[in-house]
Amino acid sequence: MTTLTYAWRAARVTPLGELYTPPRITAALLRLTVQVVLVASLWHGLYAQTGTTAGLSRDQAVTFAVLAVLASRLRELDQYAGRDSVAQHMYYGTIVYWYLRPLSPHRYYALRALGEQLYGLAWALGGYTVCLAAGVVVPPESASVAGVFALSLFLGQWVLHYVMLLIDQLCFWTLRNTAALLILIFAQNLMSGVYAPLWYFPHWFLTLSSFLPFQATLNVPLSLYVGRIPLSEAGFQLGVQAGWLVALRFLTRFLWRRAARRVVSQGG
Amino acid sequence: MNAVRIVWRVTQLNFRAQLEYRTEFLMMIAIGAIWQVSVIVFATVLLTRFAGMGGWDSSDVLLIPATRMLAHGLFVLFLGRVHGLGRHIQEGKIDAYLLRPMPVYRQVQLEHFPTNAIGDLTVAVGLMVGALGRSHLDWTPGRIAYLVAAVLGGMLLEAALFTVVASASLRFPAADYWGRWLEELLGTFGSYPLNVLPRAVGGFLTYGLPLAFVAYFPAAVLTGHGHSTGAPYWLAAASPFLGLLAYLASRWLWRWALGHYTGVNG
Amino acid sequence: MTASIEVRGLSRTFHTTVRRPGFTGVLRSLVNPERVEKHAVSDISFDVAPGELLALLGPNGAGKSTTIKMLTGILTPTSGEARVAGVVPYRERERNARNIGAVFGQRTQLWWDLPVRESFSILRDIYEVPKAEHAARLREFDELLELSSFWDTRVRHLSLGQRVRCDLAAALLHDPPVVFLDEPTIGMDVVVKEQVREFLRYQVAERGRTVLLTTHDMTEVERLAERVVLVNHGRLVLDGTLDEVRRGFGSTWQVRATLADPHTPVGPLPGIALVSHDGPQVVFGPDGPAAPTVHQALKLVIERYEVTGVAVDEADLEDVMRAAYAEVRAKAEAA
């Protein structure tokens, strides 16, 4: 019971912070709208002279791109405004308080991330409904595609959580790494398919991606949605996602322990 | 002359300061390699996939990302510290700058050495060499001069946009959020012939957020697509000059905003 | 009764890399960094009794913060042992966390984007404090620290004084028997400082909390602490009452007297030296380790001589500490 109450408290920190700052919500709304319009028109424009390319038709490509914009909204908040990122806690020396509470830092972090992702999900769902109604995106082909997509998106978001956590955990070792972080975030965006579906990329790039966790976060669920990955291959892809989940879980757990050791030996 | 000497000395010290953080510096170099590969892949993939995009030959299209990236690299190297200034403003750094006998804008630029600019510029130069190598254009001294002017203009225009955001963050720290979006927009939409977009959207990226002037218009003028951009030819051709103008205007805005700076709380 | 905080032979050594000077030096450090040992805390032992406020004093970099970090469980000692309310902090961090509250100077543990009261609620749930108890404690803190006038404000908009008061409240919300405060009043104005001191005095006297405080403000020490521990270069220099510190480091009082008859012969008294003698103006000072206190000296002077006026100068704690730090430094240099 008490676990539930503190879980609820920690999870709602981000949404609450946003709600206390209405300009941020207006900004997010404006940004999401403009981004969807721009991305949709760009892909329409790119397909003007081309038929199906890389196995993606125009509608599939536009749907993929718009869904990618909506999905990246799930974890794309103004995190720095809340001063509750690992990087900032390290910078301001307030990370010590994470280690002074009867709540382990990794659990606190996970709860915060969960709240953030659920809040983002509300946005993404709202945006999806509007886009679907406006005909910007096409609906999934069948109920089973929708179901597999939902499951895959869930796993993908979980993997994404670990990827973001890894980036944050890096801050325990390298304080001045904002540029490195930007590059990692760029890699995440590029290799997960936020900028463009991975299907357009050369074969070697796809092979490289298949050895990295990034494509499991977005490219797999969105490809399932638009039908670029047929249902018959879905089982394998879900398995790969689950595999990444397990591997990253162990890695991040290990890094939390190392981070704690580091804080304990350096004093935060 | 003294100012140049100070700038040079501080830059040297900043560069050494970057070397001080051993792991970070080495990591920057390592990750820089990944970054380079992915950018080139990204820029070339779409161009080859969508040949004839917007009625452009793919060798001509390549000139757009090359110009844009080179301008961006130079921006990061020389003027990039205005990006993300909101955080420093929150920490009260401006207050400290105001106490020193050096223009605040210059002090902002001298805050640290942008190690990442080395990576950015390496990629950009590589891309530009590639684009020029594939180009079927006759590179007369006039064309080359215009290309150089366009790169500098693009750098100044990007600096102008981020200086406007920085001026806003002097009053509203949350303006940093818009800075990040601006960076993303420049990165995503700066590399295409914008005539593939619907007229209204293209118009927004020309007159609303003047992204078209960074690389698209100059490249269009150079490759003979200057009359089909949807904007008047003279306007497209004047891009480098407009970049300079925008930068000067943004500096004026910065000075005005600094004059109305009220400090951070606490 | 056993002590609230027990520290036995606590030591902490850090390993840092030194940078060689110059450009080539930097490049060499990049390839082959040179490591050195720094003894931040060496072999410190002391006790703090339940309901006692102890001031941990020392110049900057003396090892105060490192000591506090070890006692809060953030830092593991290289050797030695510590117990806080019966728990070894660095071995059972989470159990220790429930027993202690801590404020580290200007670093806030409050959530930057939320009103302060939301932060209090989060902490209440993390520490599992019953609602009624939480409300009652908030009321108590509000009475002493006047929090209610700004606790609906978001943390980012608070002034320093307001924020630190909120941080103090946040650290004590779960009723910890032991409290660690690392320079809590740094940068505050006098009014807020006084309010915070009153709050701390109340928490010690009425609530029986054990407080370990570091500060550079000697007025604070004088008002709050009966006992101080002085550390320097990571070593314990002195552990005693304020009076003992005064005596140990030249309690430099002076008694200035104006003689009724300027021709009276004057000389030293037992334990009292004649500092100067100019016409009717005579100045006495302490002489040797057996010197009387300033009040005893005053009594002796008045009894012995017929005076028309008398004044006493007593060095304040700040002077005493200055003398103490200087002596400690001289000893370190000699060693």
Interface B–C counts its CB contacts (< 8 A) at 21
Check C30 against B26: CB less than 8 A apart: yes
Handedness of CA B21, B24, B27, B28 (dihedral sign): negative
User: For chain B, how many structural domains are there in total?
Assistant: 1
pLDDT band at A84 (very low <50, low <70, confident <90, very high): confident
C232 near A CB under 8 A: no
Check C26 against B20: CB less than 8 A apart: yes
C162 near A CB under 8 A: no
The closest alpha carbon to C182, from A100, B265, A176, belongs to A100
- Torsion-angle region of A43 (φ positive above 0: left; ψ -120 to 50: alpha; else: beta): alpha
A2 near C CB under 8 A: yes
Count Cβ neighbours within 10 Å for each residue of C116-133 and write b for 16 or more, e otherwise. bebbbbbbbbbbebeeee
Rounded average pLDDT over B72-76: 91
Q: What is the pLDDT of residues B181-214, one digit of tens each?
A: 888 888 878 878 888 888 888 899 999 899 999 9
C16 near B CB under 8 A: no
What DSSP state is assigned to residue C293? P
Nearest-Cα distance to chain C for A16, in Å, is 7
Task: Give me the pLDDT at residue C285, please.
Answer: 82
Rounded average pLDDT over B145-152: 96
Nearest-Cα distance to chain B for C157, in Å, is 7
Q: Quote the CA–CA distance of B83 and B166 in Å, as a whole number.
A: 7
If DSSP states are collapsed to H, E and C, what string results for A136-201?
CCCCCCCHHHHHHHHHHHHHHHHHHHHHHHHHHHHHHCCCCCHHHHHHHHHHHHHHHCCCCCHHHC
Q: How many residues does chain B have?
A: 266
Check A83 against C94: CB less than 8 A apart: no
Q: Which one is predicted more confidently, B28 or B12? A: B12
B29 near C CB under 8 A: no
Contacts of B25 in chain C (CB under 8 A): 30
| Across B62-76, B165-179, C36-50, least confident range | B165-179
Rounded average pLDDT over C169-197: 90
Q: What percent of chain C has pLDDT over 70?
A: 94
Check B266 against C160: CB less than 8 A apart: yes
CB C270 within 8 A of CB C238: no
Handedness of CA B47, B51, B54, B58 (dihedral sign): positive
C265 Cα distance to chain centroid:
46
CA angle A245-A251-A252, nearest 5°?
85
Paired residues of C312 in beta bridges: C255
Check B27 against A24: CB less than 8 A apart: no
Q: What percent of chain A has pLDDT over 70?
A: 91
Mutate to test the interface with C, among B16, B113, B176 (most CBs of C within 10 A): B16
CB C180 within 8 A of CB C72: yes
- List, in order, residues 6 or more apart from B155 with CB less than 8 Å away: B71, B72, B74, B75, B78, B79, B243
| Across A145-154, B25-34, C24-33, C274-283, least confident range | B25-34
Mutate to test the interface with B, among C20, C156, C160 (most CBs of B within 10 A): C156
Rounded average pLDDT over B164-169: 92
CB A173 within 8 A of CB A28: no
Pick from B27, B50, B201: which is nearest to A174 by CB?
Answer: B27
Q: Which B-chain residues 207-266 have CB contacts (< 8 A) with chain A?
A: none
Q: What is the pLDDT of residues C173-183, one digit of tens each?
A: 999 999 999 98
Domain range for B73 = 2-259
Task: Return the domain boundaries, chain A.
Answer: 2-266
Q: Given a cut of 90, is residue A243 above it in pLDDT?
A: yes
Q: Given a cut of 50, is residue A22 above it in pLDDT?
A: yes
Joined together, the tokens standing for residue B245 give 């103008």
Q: Quote the CA–CA distance of A193 and A43 in Å, as a whole number.
A: 14
Rounded average pLDDT over B12-34: 71
Q: Which one is predicted more confidently, C280 or B157? A: B157
Contacts of A177 in chain B (CB under 8 A): 24, 27
Check B22 against C29: CB less than 8 A apart: yes
C111 near A CB under 8 A: yes
Q: Quote the CA–CA distance of B154 and B233 in Å, as a whole number.
A: 18
Nearest-Cα distance to chain B for A238, in Å, is 26
Joined together, the tokens standing for residue B191 give 């590399």
Check C33 against B265: CB less than 8 A apart: no
Q: Quote the CA–CA distance of C248 and C86 in Å, as a whole number.
A: 32
B26 near C CB under 8 A: yes
The closest alpha carbon to C175, from C238, C224, C127, belongs to C127
Touching partners of B (3+ C-beta pairs < 8 Å): A, C
Q: Quote the CA–CA distance of C284 and C289 in Å, as a whole number.
A: 15
A15 near C CB under 8 A: no
Task: Give me the pLDDT at residue B75, please.
Answer: 94
A96 near C CB under 8 A: yes
Q: Quote the CA–CA distance of A117 and A114 in Å, as a whole number.
A: 5
Is residue B199 situated within a structural domain? yes
| Across A211-220, B63-72, B110-119, C61-70, least confident range | B110-119
- List, in order, residues 6 or more apart from C59 with CB less than 8 Å away: C232, C325
Q: Which one is predicted more confidently, C322 or A233? A: A233
| Across B28-32, B183-187, C118-122, C231-235, least confident range | B28-32
Q: Which one is predicted more confidently, C288 or C117? A: C117
End-to-end Cα spacing for chain C: 39
- Torsion-angle region of C130 (φ positive above 0: left; ψ -120 to 50: alpha; else: beta): beta
In 10 A of CB C273, how many CB atoms? 14
Contacts of B19 in chain C (CB under 8 A): 26-27, 30
Report the SS3 class of residue A98. Answer: helix
Contacts of C84 in chain A (CB under 8 A): none
- List, in order, residues 6 or more apart from C233 with CB less than 8 Å away: C39, C62, C63, C328, C332
Joined together, the tokens standing for residue A96 give 């010590």
Task: Give me the pLDDT at residue C211, please.
Answer: 95
Nearest-Cα distance to chain A for C36, in Å, is 15
Pick from A23, A49, A80: which is nearest to B52 by CB?
Answer: A49
Taking CA atoms, what residue in B is nearest to C158? Answer: B266
Joined together, the tokens standing for residue A94 give 């307030």
Contacts of C112 in chain A (CB under 8 A): 81-84
Check B22 against C30: CB less than 8 A apart: yes
Task: Give me the pLDDT at residue C172, please.
Answer: 94
Alpha helices in A95-142 (DSSP H): 95-98, 105-133
Q: Quote the CA–CA distance of C183 and C103 in Å, as a whole number.
A: 8
Rounded average pLDDT over C190-213: 92
Interface A–C counts its CB contacts (< 8 A) at 97
Q: Given a cut of 80, is residue C325 above it in pLDDT?
A: no
Contacts of A264 in chain C (CB under 8 A): 74-76, 90
Task: Give me the pLDDT at residue C1, please.
Answer: 46
- List, in order, residues 6 or more apart from A71 with CB less than 8 Å away: A124, A153, A194, A218, A221, A222
Is residue B193 situated within a structural domain? yes
Q: What is the identity of the amino acid at A244?
A: W
Task: Give me the pLDDT at residue A28, please.
Answer: 86
Q: Quote the CA–CA distance of A160 and A75 in Å, as a whole number.
A: 9
Write the DSSP assignment of C156-180 as a string of letters.
Answer: GG--HHHHHHHHHHHHHTT--SEEE
Contacts of C107 in chain A (CB under 8 A): 92-94, 96-97
Q: Quote the CA–CA distance of C216 and C65 in Å, as a whole number.
A: 13
Taking CA atoms, what residue in A is nearest to B205? Answer: A38
Contacts of A21 in chain B (CB under 8 A): 174
pLDDT band at C102 (very low <50, low <70, confident <90, very high): very high
Q: What percent of chain A has pLDDT over 90?
A: 41
Check A13 against C108: CB less than 8 A apart: no
Contacts of C187 in chain B (CB under 8 A): none
Q: Quote the CA–CA distance of C16 and C33 in Å, as a whole number.
A: 9
pLDDT band at A180 (very low <50, low <70, confident <90, very high): low
Mutate to test the interface with A, among B19, B29, B34, B36 (most CBs of A within 10 A): B34
Q: What is the pLDDT of residues B76-109, one digit of tens each?
A: 889 988 888 887 887 778 888 888 778 889 888 8
Crossing angle (nearest 10°) for helices B141-171 and B63-78: 50
- List, in order, residues 6 or more apart from C35 with CB less than 8 Å away: C15, C16, C17, C18
Task: Give me the pLDDT at residue C250, please.
Answer: 60
Q: Given a cut of 90, is residue A232 above it in pLDDT?
A: yes
Check C156 against B22: CB less than 8 A apart: no
Largest CA distance in chain C: 80
Q: Which B-chain residues 127-146 have CB contacts (< 8 A) with chain C?
A: none
A44 near B CB under 8 A: yes
Q: Given a cut of 80, is residue C232 above it in pLDDT?
A: yes
B25 near C CB under 8 A: yes
User: What is the reported pTM?
Assistant: 0.80
Q: Given a cut of 90, is residue B148 above it in pLDDT?
A: yes
Strand-strand pairing, C100-104 and C178-182: parallel
Class at the top of the CATH hierarchy for domain C49-77+85-247: alpha beta
If DSSP states are collapsed to H, E and C, what string results for chain B?
CHHHHHHHHHHHHHHHHHHHCHHHHHHHHHHHHHHHHHHHHHHHHHHHHCCCHHHCCHHHHCHHHHHHHHHHHHHHHHCHHHCCHHHHHHCCHHHHHHCCCCCHHHHHHCCCCCHHHHHHHHHHHHHHHHHHHHCCCCCCHHHHHHHHHHHHHHHHHHHHHHHHHHHHHHHCHHHHHHHHHHHHHHHHHCCCCHHHCCHHHHHHHHHHCCHHHCCHHHHHHHCCCHHHCCCCHHHHHCHHHHHHHHHHHHHHHHHHHHHCCCCCCC
Check B176 against A187: CB less than 8 A apart: no
Joined together, the tokens standing for residue C6 give 């027990």
Rounded average pLDDT over C119-138: 91
C5 near B CB under 8 A: no
Task: Give me the pLDDT at residue C267, please.
Answer: 83
In 10 A of CB C211, how many CB atoms? 24
pLDDT band at A70 (very low <50, low <70, confident <90, very high): very high
pLDDT band at B266 (very low <50, low <70, confident <90, very high): very low
Q: Quote the CA–CA distance of B15 and B77 in Å, as a whole number.
A: 12
Q: Quote the CA–CA distance of C83 and C93 in Å, as a whole number.
A: 12
- The mean pLDDT value of chain C amounts to 85
C31 Cα distance to chain centroid:
42
Q: What is the identity of the amino acid at A182?
A: L
Task: Return the domain boundaries, chain C.
Answer: 49-77+85-247, 253-314
Q: Quote the CA–CA distance of C112 and A1 in Å, as a whole number.
A: 27
Q: Quote the CA–CA distance of C248 and A125 in Å, as a whole number.
A: 72
Check B176 against A80: CB less than 8 A apart: yes
